[in-house]
Chains A and B, each alone.
Chain A
Amino acid sequence: MSAASKAGVMELVRKTGLTGLFFLRLLRACIPALARPRLIIAQIYNAGARSLIIIMLSGLFTGMVLGLQGYDLLNRFGATEALGTAAALALLKELGPVLTALLFAGRAGTALTSEIGLMRATDQLTAMEVMAVDPMRYVAAPRFLGGLIAVPLLTAVFNVIGLYGAQLIGVQLMGVDHGIFWAQTQSALALKDVTEGIVKSVVFGAVVSLIAVNEGYHAEPTAEGVGLATTRTVVASSVMTLLLDYVLTAAFM
C-alpha cells in the first residue's frame, strides 16, 4: 500500500471516528432538546414541509415512469394485472425511502449544513457558548431531530403520490383494469414490506441529518469552507444512503 493511500485510509478512519463521537454528543444533547418541542417543530417545518413540493413532484414522476416501464415489462409476460403490486413493492421497499433521502439531502441537508456553517462563521455558535447556552442542544439537536422525523413522513407522501402516478399511467392510459390493479396490490403486500420501508426511511433520515449537521458544525468558518462542507453533505449522504440501502435490503431478505 502506498504512503498516500495509507494516509487516505487513516484520514477516513479518523473522520468516521470523529463523526461517531459527534453522534454520541448529539444523542446526549437530544434528551434536553426534547423539552423544547417548539424548536423541533420549527425544524420539521423548515426541513420537511418546505421539501414537500419537490418530494411530491418527484414522487409523481417516479410513479408515472414505474407505470410505463412496469407495464412494458409485464406486458411481455402477459401479466399486466400485477402492475399495482410491482409498483407498490418497488416504491415501498426501495424507491420511496432511497429517492426521498437523496432529495432530502439535496434540498434540506445542504440548507442545514450551510446554515450551521454560516452560524459558525459569524460567531453565532461561539456567542451561544459564551452566553452559557450549549449550541449542541439549541442548534444541532433540534435540526437532527427535525430531519429524523421529517424523512419518514416525506417518504410516506412520496409513496402515496408515486402509487397514484403508477395508477394514473397503468390504469388510465394503458388500460389495466382498475379493480384488479388495487385488489392485486392489496393482497400481495405484507406488513413486512411496509416495515422494511419505514425502517429504511428512519435510518436514512438519521444518517442524512447527522451528516448535514456534522458537516455544518465542523465547517471551516470561511465562504470556501462552508461551500465545501455543503458539497460533502450531498456526496456523503448519497453514498451512505445507497450503501445502507443494500445492507438493510440484505438484512430484510
Chain B
Amino acid sequence: MSDAQTASSPAVSDAVIDVRDVHYAVDGRPIFSGLDIQARRGLITAVMGPSGTGKTTLLRLITGQIYADRGLVSVFGRDVGALGGTELYAMRQRMGMLFQNGALLTDIDVFENVAFPVREHTDLPEPLIRKLVLTKLEAVGLRGAAHLMPGELSGGMARRVALARAIVMDPEVLIYDEPFVGLDPISLGVILRLVKQMNDVLQITSVVVSHDVQEISSIADYSYLLSEGRVVAAGTPAELARSDSATVRQFMTGAADGPVRFHYPAVDYAAELLETSR
C-alpha cells in the first residue's frame, strides 16, 4: 500500500472532494507535487502526516482560499479553481470547518457565535434561531455555556462550540483541522466521539487532518499519509498499521529515525563544534 498510484485507486464516483495531481508551491518552494486525495460521501477520511507537510494548506485548497498551481481540486463535482465569488460562497455554505484553535469571534458570546452563520445567511425568525442554536449546543454538551464569552472557555470547550457553529447550517461536508491538538484526555475523548457521531448520525462527509495517529485511526474509514508533498500511503487504518513501508512504520510508531529525519540539514556536528572563528 506504499504506492501512491494504487493508493488513490478507490477514487470512485461518490467522491465529494476530489484532489487530483495537485501541485502547489510557495515562493518557489514546493508544498505539493502531484497530490491525489479523495473523500467519499458519508465516510471519515483522515489525512495524516508529519508537521510541515502542508496539511493545513490542503484544507485551504479545498475551501478555495488558495488555488492549485496545477491539477484539479473539485468539491461537490465542481472545480474549485473555476468558481466565481458568489459560487464559491455558495459552495462554502454547504461545508463546515473546525479550526485548530476554534476561531470563535471574541466579541460575541457562545450563543451568538453559533447563531452567526444562521443570522448571516437566513432570515429565520428569532425563536427558531434560538431553538436551532440550543439544539446544536446541546449536541456538544454546552447548552449551559450559551451565555459565556469565548475568553471564558477552556480549549476543549472552545473547540466544541466551534463544532456546534460548524454544524449549525447542516453542512454536507465537515472539515477538521487538527481537532485533537492540545486537549486533555477527557476533552480529546469527547471530541473524538463527537466527530464519529456527527458522521454516523448526520451522514456528514468528514475530512480530518491530524497527526494524532492512534486517535484518528480509531474512527477513520480511510487514511492518507502525506510526506514531502505527496501521498506515500493510503488505505484503511488496519491496512496502514500492517504496512511494511519504512515511512509508514516510522510515522505510526513515532520513531525519531527513519526516512523522515529528526535533524534539520546541517554541516558536520564535530566540525561545527570545533570551529573557533564564529
Chain A residues engaging chain B, CB cutoff 8 angstroms: 119, 122-124, 126-134, 138
Contacts and interface: CB of A to CB of B under 8 A. Distances in A.
Interface string B84-128: 000001101101010111011110000000001100110000000
A172 to B, nearest CB: 45
Contacts of B165: 131
A82 B211 CA distance: 77
B63 interface: yes
Contact of A124 (B89, B92, B100, B106): B106
B250 interface: no
Contacts of B63: 129-130
Contacts of B51: none
- The 6 A-B residue pairs whose C-beta atoms are closest, nearest first, are A127-B103, A123-B103, A132-B92, A132-B89, A130-B97, A132-B93
B65 interface: yes
B101 A122 contact: yes
| Chain B, interface SS category | mixed
Interface residues of B, number: 20
A124 B65 contact: no
Given A122-B106, A133-B117, A127 B90 contact: no
A127 B150 CA distance: 15
A128 B121 CA distance: 12
Contacts, number: 49
Contacts of A127: 97, 99, 103-105
B116 A126 contact: no
**Interface of chain A, helix or strand or loop or mixed?**
helix
B117 A131 contact: yes
B120 A130 contact: no
7 contacts: A122-B103, A123-B103, A124-B105, A127-B99, A129-B92, A130-B92, A134-B89
Contacts of B97: 127, 130-131
Contacts of A131: 92, 97, 116-117, 120, 165
B103 A126 contact: yes
A130 B89 contact: no
A220 B120 CA distance: 27
A46 to B, nearest CB: 9
A132 B103 contact: no
A133 B97 CA distance: 13
Contacts of A130: 63, 65, 92, 95, 97
B90 to A, nearest CB: 7
B90 A132 contact: yes
Given A129-B63, A129-B65, A134-B89, 20 more contacts: A123-B101, A123-B103, A126-B65, A126-B103, A127-B97, A127-B99, A127-B104, A128-B105, A130-B95, A130-B97, A131-B116, A131-B165, A132-B90, A132-B92, A132-B93, A132-B117, A132-B120, A132-B121, A133-B117, A138-B120
Q: Which of B92, B101, B104, B105 has the most CB of A within 10 A?
A: B105
Q: Which among B95, B100, B101, B103 has the highest number of chain A CB atoms within 10 Å? A: B103
A119 to B, nearest CB: 8
Contacts of A124: 103-106
Nearest to A130: B97
A129 B121 CA distance: 13
Contacts of B95: 130
Given A131-B116, A132-B89, A132-B93, A126 B99 contact: yes
A123 B60 CA distance: 12
Nearest to A123: B103
Contacts of B116: 131, 133
A158 B34 CA distance: 63
B267 to A, nearest CB: 29
A134 B117 CA distance: 11
Contacts of A129: 63, 65, 92
Interface string B135-176: 000000000000000000000000000000100000000000
Contacts of A133: 116-117, 120-121
Nearest to B166: A131
A98 B261 CA distance: 60
Contacts of A119: 105-106
> Max chain B CB contacts within 10 Å: which of A119, A128, A132, A133?
A132
A133 to B, nearest CB: 5
Contacts of B106: 119, 122, 124
A119 B105 CA distance: 8
Nearest to A121: B101
A131 B90 CA distance: 10
A131 B117 CA distance: 7
Contacts of B105: 119, 124, 127-128
